[in-house]
Structure 1
Amino acid sequence: MAELINVAAAAELELDRARMSPHGRSARALLHDGRLRHTLIALLDEQALGDHTKPEAATLHVLSGSVLVRADEGETRVEEGQLIALPGPRHDVVALGDAVVILSTIAG
């Protein structure tokens, strides 16, 4: 039988962990299916993931709060409930207030 995940409870837990972290962020793997990965990330206000290379494919779904996705092409504000395909080859994600997101990737 497939594993069911309570995303709302996991998001609340990660946000609590981020608040206790000196780095203001926390993440955990939610689900792996072959090369497909879903990672839950909590970021406190103004915390960033830092500039990094995009994997083969990646999307970001904002569960709560909002984030700013920055890349060479410009910046995009992503609000609660919105989904974005992350730009490449490099990008950064910054929290605009406390935020929780699901990062979905296809990794090589």
Structure 2
Amino acid sequence: MQKISLDALVREHLEHAVAASTGRSATTVHGGHETVLRQTPLALTAGTSLSEHESPGEATLLVLRGRVRLTGGDTSWEGRNGDLLTVPRARHGLEAVEDSAVLLTMTERG
């Protein structure tokens, strides 16, 4: 069993994101390429985005801090602290409206 403080990870990754030229920081805390389930805290500075990309499987975003906008085609969803967003199976992108951190939980297609 492993215990991880998401609050501590959020602080750490937001600090790294601010210092990074990309404006983002992430690391997988559970799972990986050899497993079905993967969980990754991801921090983005305000205005930073992940361009549209395909989803390899089912995924959700739990907004841990800040405010983000998830887009898919002509539709967008905004999430704030504590909101759980279901990632569309179609091409989608993510933008930080303000300095933000999310927990990405996803499965790989089998």
**Equivalents in 1 of 2:107, 2:39: separation in Å?**
9
Structure 1 residue 72: Cα displacement: 1.3
Unaligned runs of 5+ in 1: none
Match of 2:4 in 1: 5
* Residue in 1 that maps onto 2:89: 88
* Aligned position for 1:50: 51
How many corresponding residue pairs?
107
- Aligned position for 2:25: 26
User: What residue is the counterpart of 2:79 in the other structure?
Assistant: 78
Q: Is the 8 A contact 2:47 2:96 kept in 1?
A: yes
Tell me the TM-score normalised to structure 2 length.
0.93
**Higher fraction of strand:** 1
Secondary structure of the 1:81 match is coil
**Secondary structure, aligned partner of 1:31:** coil
Q: What TM-score, normalized to structure 1?
A: 0.94
3-state SS of 1:46 partner: coil
| Aligned-partner SS, 2:28 | strand
- Letter paired with 1:39: T
Deviation at 1:88, TM superposition (A): 2.2
Indicate the RMSD between aligned Cα atoms, in angstroms: 1.1
For 2:74 and 2:40, locate their aligned partners in 1 and report how far apart those are by CA, in whole Å: 25
Provide the rounded CA distance (Å) in 2 between the counterparts of 1:76 and 1:84: 8
* Cα deviation digits, residues 22-57 of structure 1 (max 9, x gap): 011111111117310000100000100111001210
Question: Distance in 1 between the 2:89 and 2:49 partners?
Answer: 17
What CA distance in whole angstroms lies between the structure 2 residues aligned with 1:70 and 1:88? 11
Q: Deviations over 1:68-90 (max 9, x none)?
A: 01111501111110001101211
Q: Which residue of 2 aligns with 1:104?
A: 105
